[in-house]
A and B are shown apart, each in its own frame.
Chain A
Amino acid sequence: MIRCSILLRMGLKKEDDSVTWSMVSNRHFLSLRLISFFQLGFINKGSRACHLNRATSDVMEVIKMALLKLKGVTKIYQQGKIEVPALRGIDLIVEEGEFTTIFGPSGSGKTTLLNMIGCLDKPSSGSINFGNKELVNLDKKNLAMIRRHNVGFVFQSYNLIPVLTAFENVEFAIRLINKHNKNELRDKVMKILAAVGLEGLENRKPNELSGGQKQRVAIARALVKEPKLVLADEPSANLDSKTSEEVLEVMVKMNKELGTTFIFSTHDPLVMDYARRLIEIRDGLIAKDQRREQDAVLN
């Protein structure tokens, strides 16, 4: 992959593959862009169109790689006169297509971090970039628009709307974007419901579905609008291990097929087993950030 070659060119050894993106400084990013530029030039000299296309696509992958960039993010909650720090200075870069798990003990700040990333909350200090957008200065309305178009959520308690069928719950998310005609919309919803294994159950209301099926609807709802990022907060907490596994398989499949970035917050070792990147949070700081070889991952 071009990422590896770029890292090697930057003087990072292969065994350094475990190096985290949070450790890659802005200087490295600049280097990445410059390398992309030269590589393009080199390929142009070779004047072979197919090479050019492939290289362009690879370089574009590099350019769009950083979906999220957090720098010095802190979050302090005020409880009466006492200040409670939840995050103490997080530096993190998340690439597109990652399948990441944030774990750590209760109260370590993982849900707070997830909320910051998902544009649900604002940091007390530091900066968060979502793509090329700086989130800190955006108002509620603009943050909502980013969530509407780019972020899907999966929560522990599913949070489905009980009066709507599985189909309508999924349809709701895509209706908000309002860019499909009626037939396209129906096809899209049916397709995603089939993909998460809910074919034939689309007319059931949440109370007629099992916990696993509800969570699948929630996943379909999060994915149907093809967001850049899906955030899942303890998605397996209310599920038995077999159902958890099934649900995670669905998410892995979606990650592979759609290239959607997934970030989980969890205590569940099973979820951690599926992750290709593990970030441990302790006392509001990243204690460990580990990328795993594809082979090490369960699937």
Chain B
Amino acid sequence: MLFLTKLAFKNLARHKNRTLITAIIIAFATFFYIVMDSLVGGMTEMSYETIIDYEAGHLQISNEEYWEEEEKLPLKNLFSVDGQMMTAIRNIPGYIGSSPELSFQARLNNGSDELPVIGRGVIPEAFEEVFALGNQFVEGSLFTSTELFSGESPVVGYQAVLGKRLAELMELELGDYIILLVKDRNETFNTIEAQICGLVHTSNLNVNQYLVYLPLAPVQEALSVGNEVSKVVIRMENKNLATGAAVKLENHLRSHNNYLGVYPWSGLEAISFAEAQNIENQVILTIILLIAAIAIINTVILAALERREEIGMMKAMGLQNNEVVYTFVLESIGIGILGGVIGVLMGIGGVWMMITYGLDFEAMFGMDMASFGMPVIGKVYGVWNPAAFVKVVSFGIIVSFLASIWPAYRAADKDPVKTIYHR
């Protein structure tokens, strides 16, 4: 077997160009997998940050029953934030800030058209501690609690912040008035009139297209919910602290309000969705490696055809079929290893570039990717994922091994008389 192993590896050098071409196909598949995995990893990381920074924070406190129906944004199962609760929240390790908010369904009216939107009543100072919206204003700024609109218009009213994209859809501009048609807790129709004081553009599709931010107190009044809120969103120093803190805080809160739950960011449906996207990407990349399998099959078939006489001679010398198969399979594994090593070296370079310089989708495609629902604004940076290197090289070798068995067996099973005498 040792000699056959030696022969298999010597055969790699027999047609150097062909070996190299097949290895390069595998190398490119490996390279693409590694770079794509890094990119997808970076995008997943960004989408987590996008959800945390603009929607969910690290922890959310809400009524358990409300949480189950959260998508409908009901005005029941709300709760009041008292001093005792705030103390408990502020005492969790790694606490940075907390923002009470009241979410509600509304129809946005610009005077002629209407769109369904999500209204969110917030306390601006607390909101800025938790969310990263402050840096994303393309026009205007966030309202303050005390300041009421004092522009040219004599009407003193509410102020609102909404996504630039939503504003464009509704042909609204900074300073324009909007009307939000809402149903209060008693199912009575009401309207909230506000003037746009800021337009934002973020990597979060919901913020850009569906959310309208308003000061909390007037919203509570318009919806007849007293001083109750839907949830309290908490920001922490590190997202990795969230899960442990959620358990501790929930236990603490349950001693006073046994209906409240604390939910970390990692348990959100949107996060599971981002992970599902990741799996989808891996399936696509698996197809790339299947191309490598075809390259291997092609190489083995060509080699078997060229070496017909040689195989016949080897069998005449007394080699068994499995020994002939062994030489071909080992040769293919050699190509797989060679391709894998080249691919890994290329991949290391590619990932390093992705981490150092990032990828500017906007510059590449001339389009704003966030407008298409991709959680990308500005550059996307890759992430190191050593597991992807190991996985893709192992997979490449396994694919090379599996892909070579059938053509190698076909070559080995040929009648030696026919192969020697070209019959």
Contact = CB atoms under 8 A, between A and B. Distances in A.
Contact of B10 (A115, A120, A163): A163
B416 A172 contact: no
A144 interface: yes
Contact of A147 (B310, B318, B420): B318
A141 B315 CA distance: 10
Interface in A61-107: none
B420 A155 contact: yes
B1 to A, nearest CB: 9
A41 interface: no
Given A176-B317, A176-B319, A159 B3 contact: no
A79 B309 CA distance: 22
Interface string B384-422: 000000000000000000000000000000011100110
Contacts of B3: 171-172, 175-176
A148 B318 contact: yes
Most chain A CB within 10 A, of B310, B312, B313, B321, is at B313
B309 A144 contact: no
Given A120-B417, A164-B7, A172 B318 contact: no
A210 to B, nearest CB: 19
A163 B313 contact: no
A173 B317 contact: yes
Interface in A140-167: 140-141, 144-149, 151, 153, 155, 157, 159, 161-164
A172 B315 CA distance: 12
B11 interface: yes
A176 B319 CA distance: 8
Interface in B279-319: 309-310, 312-313, 315-319
B417 A153 contact: no
A176 B318 contact: yes
A111 B10 contact: no
Contacts of B416: 120
A160 to B, nearest CB: 8
Nearest to B318: A148
B320 interface: yes
B99 to A, nearest CB: 71
A161 B7 contact: yes
Given A115-B417, A164-B10, A149 B318 contact: yes
A148 B321 CA distance: 13
A268 interface: no
Given A120-B417, A163-B7, A164-B10, A144 B310 contact: no
B115 interface: no
Contacts of B312: 159
B420 A144 contact: no
Interface in A184-240: 221
A147 B10 contact: no
A120 B318 contact: no
A153 B313 contact: yes
A78 to B, nearest CB: 13
B150 to A, nearest CB: 88
A115 B319 CA distance: 16
Contacts of A151: 316, 318
B14 interface: yes
Given A141-B320, A148-B318, A172-B3, A159 B13 contact: no
Contacts of A118: 316
A121 interface: yes
A130 B301 CA distance: 36
Report the contact-size class of chain A (Cβ under 8 Å from the partner): 20 to 34
A111 B418 CA distance: 12
Nearest to A177: B318
Nearest to A163: B10
B420 A159 contact: yes
A163 B316 CA distance: 19
B332 to A, nearest CB: 16
Nearest to B9: A163
Most chain A beta-carbon contacts within 10 A, residue among B310, B317, B415, B417: B317
B317 A111 contact: no
Interface in B234-286: none
A164 B317 CA distance: 16
Contacts of B421: 111
A159 B310 contact: yes
A50 to B, nearest CB: 40
Contact of B13 (A163, A171, A176): A163
A119 B26 CA distance: 41
A120 B7 contact: no
Contacts of B319: 144, 148, 176
B417 A145 contact: no
B313 A144 contact: no
Interface string B363-396: 0000000000000000000000000000000000
A144 B318 contact: yes
Nearest to A146: B318
Contact of B309 (A120, A145, A157): A157
Contacts of A146: 318
Nearest to B6: A168
Interface string A110-140: 0100010010110000000000000000001
Contacts of B10: 163-164
A175 B1 CA distance: 9
Given A159-B310, A171-B3, A153 B317 contact: yes
B320 A162 contact: no
A144 B320 contact: yes
Nearest to B320: A144
A115 B416 CA distance: 10
A151 B313 CA distance: 12
B317 A148 contact: yes
Given A151-B318, A159-B309, A171-B3, 8 more contacts: A115-B417, A121-B415, A147-B317, A153-B316, A161-B310, A163-B13, A172-B3, A175-B3
25 contacts: A118-B316, A120-B316, A120-B417, A120-B420, A121-B415, A121-B417, A141-B320, A144-B319, A145-B318, A148-B318, A151-B316, A151-B318, A153-B313, A153-B317, A159-B310, A162-B14, A163-B7, A163-B11, A164-B7, A164-B10, A171-B3, A172-B3, A172-B7, A175-B3, A176-B318
Interface of B: 2-3, 7, 10-11, 13-14, 309-310, 312-313, 315-321, 415-417, 420-421
Closest 9 CB pairs of A and B: A148-B318, A159-B313, A163-B10, A147-B318, A175-B3, A153-B316, A144-B318, A163-B14, A115-B417
